[in-house]
């Protein structure tokens, strides 16, 4: 595919390898592109972006492997990261893309499938361009859920301004040519990422599970049921026993809680179910460690309805701004009729919420809430450099000496690490640890469905706030 093909063929995103889908023998995995590669997105651009490896398969190539991406000869596949790429191949900075899956020549050291990209270069005359690629959600359609809640999808935009310039270096008799290009990524995904959870009320956090206060009756309009709700229970909101492991000194009360002040029954068919209409914990049953763990929870902001999020009372759309930039330069030196020296260098950066919502690094757990301190942020740095010396000895013998280097760095950070510290949240210093570690963070815990999830805690330690 030539530069003209790259310009004329439709790209949904800004990754040149997306064009491989037009080639014979190339297929996508079931579920489409958005559910396949570790980092590949046909819309939102990040540094470690590639449509191969776990997005496109050509002629039966190996799952998460078997395909190389070369940028001016430099291998950019990260073999330690599930076949994602160390750098992105920008369409405005690429002159040619070729793919080989058979009949390899003697100079090809990679395979069995090789995607080779050649960067743009300067010419004997000066040429420049400026461009602005734009996508905006004013032309999109909301889903039914967003149209029927108070929190529809927010404004989304994907803007990519950029430009390039190249030509001969003055005083070199047009033997030394240069080219340089830059592109800015301005990507606002809107609030398409939504976190939902159940947040106990302030009264519940004080041990009051009665229905004689507005907060509890709003969350649980039918009262509290011990165990599972009865089959066919009317209404959209119900609450099981929320006084289990988090609030009662580690004791899981599956039977009615101690000293109930009032009980009632609900009959469904021939079965009767006990409800805790006035349930309260006796004084002294609240655990100070559990109360400290709950300090990172946000406040409930939603009246539970099954049509929105199956009884949750926390519905939080997350606005993810994933911005970045990329630039590339190339120099070509015509040493003589038979010798050419050329090299290129590319650097890129992007940053946005992990998983688009900042709740967890690698997936979004059920009942997830934002990670305390501003969410978990994923930063991406990528660099690639390649140099060539090409010499033609005669009509049948050519030597190409290549030196290449590629680099990728993907630290996760938290804007305010102290928000998850034990000292910040008042976690009791007397509570020991299974392993005597210097971790400053509160312990992690999974959600049982009645509390928010905090399943990832003590990884931002070396140094603090980075992983």
Do 43 and 152 lie in a common domain? no
- Taking only the tens place, the pLDDT of each residue in 80-106 is 765 678 888 999 999 998 888 888 877
Do 349 and 426 lie in a common domain? yes
Percentage of residues in the chain having pLDDT higher than 70? 74
In terms of average pLDDT, the best of 256-265, 272-281, 408-417 is 408-417
| 311 — pLDDT class (breaks 50, 70, 90) | low
**Neighbouring-strand partners of residue 392:** 398
DSSP secondary structure letter of residue 419 = G
Q: Which residue has the higher pLDDT, 21 or 453?
A: 453
Extract the tokens encoding 378. 């994923």
| 110 — pLDDT class (breaks 50, 70, 90) | confident
Range from 15-24, 256-265, 288-297, 362-371 carrying the lowest mean pLDDT: 256-265
Do 234 and 379 lie in a common domain? no
Do 292 and 355 lie in a common domain? no
Do 66 and 141 lie in a common domain? no
Mean pLDDT of 236-258: 37
Domain boundary among 255, 272, 296: 296
Can you give the residue range of the structural domain that contains 464? 123-199+300-467
| 142 — pLDDT class (breaks 50, 70, 90) | low
Do 289 and 305 lie in a common domain? no
SS (H, E, C) the chain: CEHHHHHHCCCCCCCHHHHHHHCCCEEECCCCHHHCCCCCCCCCCCCCCCCECCCEEECCCCCCCCEEEEECCEECECCCCCCCECCCCCHHHEEEEEEECCCCCCCCCCCCEEEEEEECCCCCCCEEEEEEEEEEHHHCCCCHHHHCCCCCCCCCEEEEEEEEEEEECCCCCCCEEEEEEEEEEEEECCCCEEEEECCCCHHHHCCEEECCCHHHHHHCCCCEECCCCCCCCCCCCCECCCCCCCCCCCCCCCCCCCCCCCCEEEEECCEEEEECCEEECCCCCCCHHHHHHHHHCCCCCCCCCHHHHCCCCEEEEECCECEEEEEEEEEEEECCCCEEEEEEEEEEEEEEEHHHCCCCCCCCCCCECCCCCCCCEEEEEEEEEEEEEEEEEECCEEEEEEEEEEEEECCEECCCHHHHEHHHHCCCCCCCCCCCCCCCECCCECCCCCCCEECCCCCCECCECEC
Can you give the pTM of this predicted structure?
0.79
Q: Which residue has the higher pLDDT, 425 or 304?
A: 425
Indicate the number of domains in the chain. 3
Q: Which residue has the higher pLDDT, 245 or 183?
A: 183
| 218 — pLDDT class (breaks 50, 70, 90) | confident
Do 292 and 305 lie in a common domain? no
Mean pLDDT of 73-78: 88
Domain boundary among 102, 120, 138: 120
> pLDDT value at position 223?
60
Q: Which residue has the higher pLDDT, 116 or 303?
A: 116
Mean pLDDT of 228-244: 44
| 279 — pLDDT class (breaks 50, 70, 90) | low
CATH code of the domain in which 52 resides? 2.170.130.10
Do 182 and 245 lie in a common domain? no
DSSP secondary structure letter of residue 215 = H
> pLDDT value at position 33?
42
Do 418 and 456 lie in a common domain? yes
Domain boundary among 280, 296, 312: 296
- Taking only the tens place, the pLDDT of each residue in 253-271 is 333 433 333 344 444 444 4
* Mean of pLDDT over the chain: 78
> pLDDT value at position 441?
87
- Taking only the tens place, the pLDDT of each residue in 338-387 is 999 999 999 999 999 988 899 998 888 888 999 998 899 999 999 999 99
Range from 264-268, 430-434, 455-459 carrying the lowest mean pLDDT: 264-268
Q: Which residue has the higher pLDDT, 409 or 52?
A: 409
Give 312: exposed, middle or buried? Use CB within 10 Å, 0-12, 13-18, 19+. buried
Do 180 and 266 lie in a common domain? no
Do 39 and 100 lie in a common domain? yes
Do 276 and 307 lie in a common domain? no
């Amino acid at each position: 595919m030539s530069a003209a093909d790259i310009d004329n063929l439709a790209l949904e995103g800004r990754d040149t390898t997306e064009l491989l889908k037009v080639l014979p023998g190339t297929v996508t995995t079931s579920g489409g592109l958005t559910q396949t590669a570790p980092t590949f997105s046909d819309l939102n651009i990040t540094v470690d972006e590639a449509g191969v490896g776990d997005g496109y398969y050509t002629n039966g190539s190996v799952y998460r492997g078997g395909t190389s991406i070369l940028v001016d000869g430099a291998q950019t596949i990260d073999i330690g990261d599930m076949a994602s790429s160390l750098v992105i191949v920008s369409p405005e900075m690429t002159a040619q893309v070729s793919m080989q899956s058979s009949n390899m020549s003697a100079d090809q050291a990679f395979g069995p499938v090789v995607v080779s990209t050649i960067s743009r270069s300067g010419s004997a005359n000066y040429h420049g361009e400026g461009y602005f690629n734009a996508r905006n959600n004013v032309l999109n359609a909301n889903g039914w859920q967003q149209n029927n809640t108070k929190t529809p999808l927010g404004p989304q935009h994907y803007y990519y301004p950029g430009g390039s310039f190249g030509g001969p270096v003055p005083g070199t008799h047009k033997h030394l040519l240069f080219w340089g290009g830059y592109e800015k990524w301005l990507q606002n995904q809107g609030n398409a990422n939504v976190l939902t959870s159940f947040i106990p009320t302030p009264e519940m956090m004080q041990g009051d599970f009665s229905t004689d206060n507005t907060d509890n009756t709003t969350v649980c309009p039918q009262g509290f049921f011990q165990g599972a709700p009865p089959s066919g229970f009317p209404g959209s909101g119900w609450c099981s026993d929320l006084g289990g492991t988090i609030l009662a000194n580690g004791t899981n009360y599956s039977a009615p809680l101690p000293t109930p002040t009032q009980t009632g029954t609900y009959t469904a068919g021939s079965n009767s179910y006990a409800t805790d209409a006035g349930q309260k914990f006796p004084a002294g049953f609240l655990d100070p460690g559990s109360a400290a763990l709950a300090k990172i929870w946000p406040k409930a902001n939603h009246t539970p309805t099954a049509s929105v999020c199956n009884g949750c009372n926390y519905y939080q759309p997350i606005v993810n701004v994933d911005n970045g930039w990329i630039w590339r330069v190339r120099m070509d030196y015509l040493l003589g009729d038979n010798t050419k020296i050329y090299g290129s260098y590319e650097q890129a950066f992007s940053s946005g919420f992990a998983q688009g919502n900042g709740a967890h690094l690698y997936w979004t757990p059920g009942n997830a809430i934002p990670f305390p301190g501003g969410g978990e942020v994923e930063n991406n740095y990528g660099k690639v450099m390649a140099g060539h010396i090409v010499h033609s000895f005669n009509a049948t013998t050519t030597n190409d000496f290549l030196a290449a280097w590629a680099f990728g760095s993907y630290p996760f950070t938290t804007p305010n690490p102290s928000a998850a510290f034990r000292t910040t949240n008042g976690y009791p210093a007397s509570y020991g640890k299974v392993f005597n570690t210097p971790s400053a963070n509160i312990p992690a815990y999974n959600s049982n469905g009645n509390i928010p999830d905090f399943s990832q805690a003590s990884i931002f330690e070396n140094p603090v706030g980075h992983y």
